């Protein structure tokens, strides 16, 4: 009879130990999932910043022609003049099928614009840009 009590206690200890390890494993898995999500968000933000900066530099150097020729920008006449561009996951210009990032340049005035980069309908980064005319 004494032997039966020892096996019951040992079985309870094993159940508690397994439960403890399962609890620790679930916490570790949650930490890895959160770290992966943060890494993906950071990569998206980094790529959108690079896209916005490149777009702004092209507009500042070449104007509207640069947006059309180098970035395949499509001019849209809405209340505010706007150019839209599509980019792949590496930040290169892309067609509709391979596009991941959506870039938009809204002209506030002749010398000011706002570059917005979004992904899946969510705005990732917005950059205000000013351009200076050179005197010839």
List the chain domain ranges.
Answer: 2-130
Residue 73 DSSP class? -
Rounded Cα–Cα distance for residues 86 and 132 (Å): 26
Calculate the CA dihedral of residues 123, 127, 53, 100 and round it to 10 degrees.
Answer: 10
Which residue is associated with the tokens 């001019």? 75
pLDDT in tens, 11-63: 899 999 999 999 999 999 999 999 999 999 999 999 999 999 999 999 888 88
pLDDT in tens, 57-103: 998 888 888 888 888 888 877 777 889 999 999 989 989 899 999 99
pTM of the predicted structure, to 2 decimals: 0.79
Which residue is associated with the tokens 């395949």? 72
């Amino acid at each position: 009879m004494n032997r039966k009590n020892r096996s019951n206690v040992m079985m309870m200890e094993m159940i508690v130990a397994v439960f403890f390890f399962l609890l620790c494993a679930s916490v570790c898995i949650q930490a890895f999932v959160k770290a992966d999500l943060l890494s993906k968000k950071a990569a998206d933000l980094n790529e959108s910043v690079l896209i916005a900066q490149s777009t702004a530099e092209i507009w500042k150097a070449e104007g509207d022609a640069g947006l059309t020729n180098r970035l395949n920008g499509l001019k849209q006449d809405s209340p505010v003049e706007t150019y839209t561009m599509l980019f792949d996951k590496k930040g290169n210009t892309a067609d509709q099928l391979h596009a991941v990032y959506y870039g938009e340049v809204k002209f506030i005035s002749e010398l000011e614009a706002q570059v917005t980069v979004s992904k899946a309908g969510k705005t990732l980064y917005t950059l205000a840009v000013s351009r200076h005319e050179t005197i010839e």
